[in-house]
């Protein structure tokens, strides 16, 4: 049985199954990337709910795993060299799990780097811009009299959706016929944009054809449906 006692986070959130990957998360658009990936790969894991509403990511046990204080993070008891290995940043975790499982990241170099470029597109653009739009449209940003920030993020979100719309023309998935970590990274964000954020109308989501069809295909996957609810919300 793996010994995870060297990791303080396991004292705060004890592992009932220490031989499984430990997931520390909550089902936000960033969090569900990893739970979906774990469900898709079938890698054994144990999920721990981190209550971000109570600032649990800023407690010392969590910061010992991720000094940036953000979910998701994982602890793999069977990491490189067979030793326990901790990792944060959802994009890095997706790559790690893809390589560990041998799934959802092409091995051929050109396709591999093309997949990674779309993953980084999500990390650098889709996530930050959609998140800012959500803040200014749904949350406290609504109270800001100056609407230029809202309009900036609205327009940039529309542009990014246009990039996806063009990419998906004639393609089933971001990489064509193969479902990859590029798709996994974006599904939760697009779903959140039109669902939880309620921003579909202001970004003209209804005018798109390829993105909604892609989202529907993704959400129809059983592993995606399961991953969207893992871990349980506090």
How confident is the model over 124-175, as pLDDT tens digits?
999 999 999 999 999 988 889 999 999 999 999 999 999 999 999 999 999 9
CA dist 156 to 148, 186, 234, Å? 12, 16, 32
Say how far apart CA 172 and CA 176 lie, in whole Å: 5
The confidence score (pLDDT) of residue 202 equals 97
Check: CATH 3.40.30.10 for 9-103? yes
Q: What residue ranges of the chain are covered by domains with CATH 1.20.1050.10?
A: 109-224
Do 33 and 7 form a contact (C-beta atoms < 8 A)? no
The confidence score (pLDDT) of residue 71 equals 98
Task: Give the residue among 140, 131, 124 at the shortest CA–CA distance from 190.
Answer: 131
The confidence score (pLDDT) of residue 234 equals 86
Residues of the chain with pLDDT under 70: none
- The model's pTM: 0.96
CATH of domain 109-224: 1.20.1050.10
The confidence score (pLDDT) of residue 2 equals 82
| Token pair 């944060």: residue | 88
Say how far apart CA 65 and CA 75 lie, in whole Å: 8
Q: What residue ranges of the chain are covered by domains with CATH 3.40.30.10?
A: 9-103
């Amino acid at each position: 049985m793996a010994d995870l006692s060297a990791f303080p986070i396991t004292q705060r959130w004890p592992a009932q199954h220490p031989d499984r990957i430990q997931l520390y998360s909550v089902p936000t658009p960033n969090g569900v990337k990893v739970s979906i990936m774990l469900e898709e790969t079938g890698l054994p894991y144990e999920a721990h709910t981190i209550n971000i509403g109570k600032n649990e990511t800023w407690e010392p046990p969590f910061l010992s795993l991720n000094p940036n204080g953000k979910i998701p993070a994982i602890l793999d008891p069977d990491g490189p060299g067979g030793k326990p290995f901790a990792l944060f940043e959802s994009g890095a975790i997706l790559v790690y799990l893809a390589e560990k499982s041998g799934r959802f990241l092409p091995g051929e170099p050109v396709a591999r780097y093309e997949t990674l470029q779309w993953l980084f597109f999500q990390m650098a653009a889709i996530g930050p811009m959609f998140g800012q739009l959500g803040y200014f449209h749904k949350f406290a940003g609504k109270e800001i009299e100056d609407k230029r920030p809202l309009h900036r993020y609205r327009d940039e979100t529309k542009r990014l959706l246009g990039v996806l719309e063009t990419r998906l023309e004639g393609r089933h998935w971001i990489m064509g016929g193969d479902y990859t970590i590029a798709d996994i990274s974006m599904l939760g964000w697009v779903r959140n944009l039109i669902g939880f954020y309620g921003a579909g109308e202001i970004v003209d989501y209804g005018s798109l054809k390829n993105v909604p069809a892609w989202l529907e295909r993704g959400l129809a996957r059983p592993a995606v449906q399961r991953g969207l609810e893992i871990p349980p919300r506090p």
